[in-house]
Chain A
Amino acid sequence: MNSNPELVLLRNQREDRPATLEEYRASGGYEALALAVREKAPRQICEMVKDSALRGRGGAAFPAGLKWLGVKEDAPHPRYVVCNTDEMEPGTFKDRILVDADPHQAIEGCILAGYAIQAQRGIIFIRPSYEQGAQLLERELEVARQAGFLGQNILGSGFSFDLTVHRSAGRYICGEATAQVNAIMGNRPHPMKGVHMAAQGLWGLPTLVNNVETLACVPHIVRNGPEWFRRLARTPTGGGTKLYAVSGKVNRPGVYELPIGTPLREIIEEHAGGMLSGGEFKACLPGGASTRYLPRQFYDLEMDYDTLKAVGHRLGTGAIIVYDNHTCFVGATLNLQEFFARESCGYCTPCREGLPYIRDLLWRLENGEGKEEYLPMLRQMAGHMAKSYCAFAPGAAEPVISLLTYFADEVREHISQKGCPFKGVDKPRPHLWYPPEE
């Protein structure tokens, strides 16, 4: 059992197995639910979440309490809570660790959200790669039901709420709230514009969609108070701890729960074990694939929403992908654009046509066919992504824009050397999907 007193979300994490209901309860689990249904009005829970400065952990950073208060008290029923555990942002794996560590914490968060907006039903939306997590959640939901925390008349309060697991079949866009609702309804999961989810979401009824990490914070806020939660942060405007998922060229990749606003240097050097030997920190993507490269000059920056925003960046999911000085950023950005071009749902033209265009320019640069004029072409097309239907393509453009901002010299080296300076002109690095030679 992890005994670090500063841990909140991962306090019950063990190496060998997920925490049980008994272990979760021994750490104060379900006390918040009992307090809420017996002594607090639903609206009070929303207010507590608002006062806690909790912001959406799925990447958008929207203030959670405001989202919850967006469901009007006289809104129709049934109402829904959707717990977003789709987590397909490249580099992001915190939700998997969170659910596997302490499933009841996520479950209690969902039930509290249900109580706060007076919902009848919750759905945990989970990606197929996390089938182990889906099976764990289904098992523990039944355990919660047997214990009286879930289902009819929860803890004798008269409040009824039930949760089910919804398995996805794997597509990045399903992480977007409106697309996720379409996915649950058995529709092709295109995003929807101009839909006010708090009024007309799933099946046209009030729906709250939150990331599972956001929801997992709620039991702690209700039990310890919003002020306590705010004090956990290392920045004046932040709230809580954050699950930083560190991957890439570090010695100990993994999820580290730290006060939100912990400086990047500290996360990498003190927690993730520093850079792999032989490499130096070159840049990171601070919050998954749809954020901008954060280069060396920001190494001491506090990793919080407002601190990153102040320098023109986004924290996103807090999934820190660390690159060293041996990594080619044209190659890395090409990989990201291959991902985005493939995952585009194809609904709107800028995204469907623009991303392959960007990918092709990067492919030419990486493979020695680059020209100086490709730089303004890339910049222009990345700018056009803002004209697309949803936030997918603007997110995809972020690494491209920052490649041109911070690493234009590296791009130009690809042009002058007619190939990737990281692998030599005549010796292409083996590509992932070349067919074997006949």
Chain B
Amino acid sequence: MLPEELHAQLQKKIAAAHRPRELAIDVMYAVQKHYGFLSDEGLLEAADLLGMTSLELEELATFYDFLYRQPVGRFVIHVCDGVVCWMFHEGSVFDYLCQKLGVCAGQTTADGLFTVLPTACAGFCDHAPAMLVNGVPYGPLTPESIDQILQKLRSESCDLVVCR
């Protein structure tokens, strides 16, 4: 169950909205942030808050890249596989990332810290090759910079949080 405070906060936000449905994504983000992913329970609570059916929300949740219907790690790494980053992956920095973490696309590391997902061009082509970690952009990536980033994430929290 969502904590009362968050529930009330979302209710207030929805009441002030132009139309509740316009907040569908925002509410799902908030629920996802609370549970760590968009759980079945969270989806039903979001639907209840918004006055939408769970099917309507499921239609959205399964459509978008940044809503996670399965558990993900504490850090979700969206690795850009757009064409500009592709041009720079000759050194295979992305393979390096996967090998370093011991996972392939869509998997979460055993310690629950990292999930690696491919993503459409993230809009950081001037820093190619690039990736987003919980919404924070990094690039241009090299094996060395990936080592440093992973090390930093293991020891520090992440300031900008998009969806978790």
Number of interface residues of A (CB under 8 A): 61
Q: Is B149 part of the binding interface, using a Cβ–Cβ cutoff of 8 Å? A: no
B41 at the binding interface (Cβ < 8 Å):
no
A161 to B66, CA, bound (A): 31
Q: How many residues on chain B are close to A (CB under 8 Å)?
A: 56
Determine how close the nearest CB of chain B comes to the CB of A165; give it in whole angstroms.
10
Q: Closest residue to B134 on the A side, CB-wise? A: A131
Decide if A327 touches B87 in the complex (CB within 8 Å): yes
Contacts of A130 in B (CB 8 A): 123
**B114 contacts the other chain (CB 8 A):** no
If the complex has contacts A166-B22, A332-B83, A335-B81, are A128 and B66 also in contact, measured as CB distance less than 8 A? yes
- B121–A432 CB distance below 8 A: no
Q: Are A132 and B122 in contact (CB under 8 A)?
A: no
Contact B87 A88 (CB under 8 A): no
For the complex, give the distance between the alpha carbons of A434 and B116 in Å: 13
CA distance A169 to B29 in the complex (A): 9
Which B residues are in CB contact (< 8 Å) with A430? 89, 92, 95
Contact with B along A170-190 (1 / 0, CB 8 A): 111000000000011111110
Stretch at the interface among A57-65, A89-97, A378-386, A403-411: A89-97
A90, A121, A130, A435 pick with most chain B CB within 10 angstroms: A90
Majority SS at the chain B contact face: mixed
Q: Which residues of B contact A436 (CB under 8 A)?
A: 95, 98-99, 102-104
Residue with the greatest number of chain B CB neighbours at <10 A, chosen from A87, A130, A170, A203: A170
Q: Is B144 an interface residue (CB 8 A)?
A: no
Q: How far is the CA of A223 from the CA of B102 in the complex (A)?
A: 57
Query: Which residues of the partner chain A approach B98 to less than 8 Å between Cβ atoms?
Result: 433, 435-436
For residue B44, give the distance in angstroms from its CB to the closest CB of chain A.
Answer: 16
- By a CB distance below 8 angstroms, the chain B residues around A429 are 90
Q: How many angstroms from the CA of A184 to the CA of B22 in the assembled complex?
A: 5
Complex contact B94–A339 (CB within 8 A): no
**Which A residues touch B25, using CB under 8 A?**
166-169, 183, 186
Contact residues in B for A30 (Cβ distance below 8 Å): none
Is A343 on the interface with B (CB-CB < 8 A)? yes
Q: Which residue of A lies closest to B82 (CB)?
A: A90
Interface segment out of the listed A16-24, A248-256, A389-397? A248-256
Of all chain B residues, the one with the shortest Cβ separation from A289 is B83
Closest 6 CB pairs of A and B: A186-B21, A169-B64, A435-B104, A247-B125, A90-B121, A186-B24
The 20 sampled A-B contact pairs (Cβ below 8 Å) are A88-B120, A90-B83, A90-B120, A128-B65, A128-B66, A128-B163, A129-B119, A131-B162, A135-B160, A167-B25, A169-B28, A185-B19, A185-B22, A186-B19, A186-B56, A245-B126, A319-B125, A321-B125, A332-B83, A332-B87
Taking A327-B87, A342-B120, A432-B81 as known contacts, 18 extra A-B pairs with beta carbons closer than 8 A to each other, sorted by chain A number, are A91-B121, A92-B121, A93-B125, A128-B65, A130-B123, A168-B25, A169-B60, A169-B64, A185-B21, A319-B125, A338-B81, A430-B89, A433-B81, A433-B98, A435-B98, A435-B105, A436-B95, A436-B98
